[in-house]
């Protein structure tokens, strides 16, 4: 009888000891926890990347639109400038401002030539090269 009572007491004591030690709920192993954290972090990172990608895409689209607008504006300005300097418009502007201007006569033009360059043969003697550069001489009007 004493042995049974002892055993009973021991079982009760063990149980109460175990209850104090026992933790409530599911106990996750460390490895699984690490994996879960990594997956979660990866998922959050992925979401952040997607969000950033979307933001960049919107920015790209905005800047593409702006670039296109600027290109069109530049082209439009070039057209307007060319229109202003067209011979017809220049003549009209002169007339509108009562300016009677024409090209100089040949006796109104003084030609200054770099003789050393000219005689060395390096000065360009074709007319069109004169139009493109001042090598070989220059004209003062």
Partner 1 sequence: MKKISGLRLRAGLTGLFILAVFGGLAARVAHLQLGDHSELRLTYQRRVIHREELKAARGAVRDRNGRLLALDESRKNVGVDPSFIHAHNNPQLVQAALSRFLHVEPAMIGARLQETHRQFASLEQFVEEPRAEELDAYLRAHSLRNGVVMDNINVRTYPHQNLLSHVVGFVNREDVGSAGVEQTMHRFLQSRGGIRVSEKDGRRREMASRRSLQIDPTDGADVTLTVDMYLQYGVEEALDKALEQFGAAGGWALVMDVKTGEILAMASRPDYDPNAFNRTPSENMRNRNVTGSYEPGSIFKGLIFAAALNEGLVDPEEIIDCEYGVWIHRNRPLRDYHPYARLTAEEVLHKSSNIGTAKIALRMSPDMMYGYLRDFGFGQRTGIDLPGEESGIMHAPRNWDSLTHSRMSIGHAVNVTAVQMAAAMNAIANDGVLMRPYVVREVRSPSGDLLFKRHPEEAGPPVVRPEVAREMRRMLAGVTRPGGTGRRAAIEGFEIAGKTGTAQKVLPGGGYADKLNVASFVGFLPAQNPAVTILVSIDEPQGELRTGGSVAAPVFKEIAEYAIGYYGIPPEGF
Residues near 124 by Cβ (< 8 Å), separated by ≥ 6?
Answer: 130, 133, 135, 136
User: Which residue, 10 or 73, has its beta carbon nearer to partner 1?
Assistant: 73
Which residue stretch of 7-15, 22-30, 39-47, 70-78 sits at the interface with partner 1 (rule: CB under 8 A)? 70-78
Determine how β-strand 110-112 pairs with β-strand 138-140. antiparallel
Please name which of 133, 116, 115 lies closest in space to residue 124, comparing C-alpha atoms. Answer: 133
CB closer to partner 1 out of 9 and 58: 58
58 touches partner 1 (CB under 8 A): yes
Instruction: Please list, residue by residue across 29-47, b when 16 or more beta carbons sit within 10 angstroms of its beta carbon and e when fewer do.
Output: eeeeeeeeeeeeeeeeeee
Please list every residue from 71 through 100 that binds partner 1, using CB under 8 A: 71-73, 75-76, 78-79, 82-83, 85-88
Q: How far is the CB of 118 from partner 1 (least distance, A)?
A: 9
131 counts as binding partner 1 under rule CB under 8 A: yes
Cα separation, 115 vs 121, in Å, equals 10
Write out the residues near partner 1 by the rule CB under 8 A: 53-54, 56-58, 60-61, 64, 68, 71-73, 75-76, 78-79, 82-83, 85-88, 102-107, 109, 111, 125-128, 130-132, 136-137, 139, 141
């Amino acid at each position: 009888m004493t042995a049974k009572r002892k055993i009973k007491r021991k079982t009760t004591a063990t149980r109460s000891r175990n209850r104090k030690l026992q933790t409530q709920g599911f106990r996750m192993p460390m490895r699984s926890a690490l994996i879960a954290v990594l997956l979660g972090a990866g998922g959050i990172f992925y979401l952040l990347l997607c969000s950033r990608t979307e933001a960049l895409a919107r920015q790209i689209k905005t800047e593409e639109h702006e670039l296109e607008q600027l290109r069109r504006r530049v082209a439009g300005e070039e057209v307007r400038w060319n229109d202003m300097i067209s011979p017809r418009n220049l003549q009209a502007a002169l007339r509108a401002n009562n300016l009677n201007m024409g090209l100089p006569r040949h006796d109104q033009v003084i030609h200054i030539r770099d003789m050393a360059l000219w005689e060395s043969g390096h000065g360009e003697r074709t007319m069109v090269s004169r139009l493109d550069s001042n090598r070989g001489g220059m004209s003062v009007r």
